[in-house]
Amino acid sequence: MPHDSLLRYSHEFRVAYHQTDGQRRVHHSNYLNFFEEARVEMLRAGGVRYKDLEDSGRLLVVTEMNVQYHAAAEFDDYLRLDVAVTEIRKVRLRHHYQVFRDQTLITSADSTIACVDAEGRPKKLPPKFLELASQLGQ
């Protein structure tokens, strides 16, 4: 999957030993960290630094995560995580994730991310995000 502004991104990485459980397989909780890293890198590739969002009074918080585990990834595997924005609303983003080892689907997931202020109240996404909604047909 190509890097395509803030809508699609491919993140490649190698599984570290500390990310595995006693069977040397990736512990299920680490996939949430992988997804977050990919979202942050997707923003950076699109010219948006997460720190700048925070400095503007916006926080992106996960409100929903649905993960399906299809196969096991193990220590030292080289993985590709494809992330795509599937929906953009005034205060909400939805992402779809797929993790592959070569052509084998390891994990897929969907998340909902809300934009809030420091007190947790909904806050509009920056204009750059809202402009992208038209590219998704919204």
Cα dist from 65 to 58, 74, 123, 133, 137, whole Å: 20, 23, 20, 21, 23
CA distance 60 to 121: 11
Going from N- to C-terminal start, the domains of the chain cover: 8-136
Mean pLDDT score, 6-35? 94
Digit-coded pLDDT (tens) for 88-128? 999 999 999 999 999 999 999 999 999 999 999 999 998 88
Q: pLDDT at position 45, please? A: 86
CB-based contacts of 118: which residues, under 8 Å, 6+ apart?
Answer: 57, 59
Cα dist from 31 to 34, 89, 120, 137, whole Å: 5, 25, 25, 29
CB 125 within 8 A of CB 91: yes
Q: What is 8-136's CATH number, 3.65.10.10, 3.40.50.300, 3.10.129.10, 3.30.420.10?
A: 3.10.129.10
CA distance 2 to 105: 18
CA distance 107 to 116: 28
Question: Which DSSP helix (H) or strand (E) runs through 88?
Answer: strand 78-88
Asked if residue 67 has pLDDT above 80, the reply is yes
Of the ranges 34-43, 69-78, 123-132, the best mean pLDDT one: 69-78
Ramachandran angles phi, psi of 32, nearest 5°: -60, -40
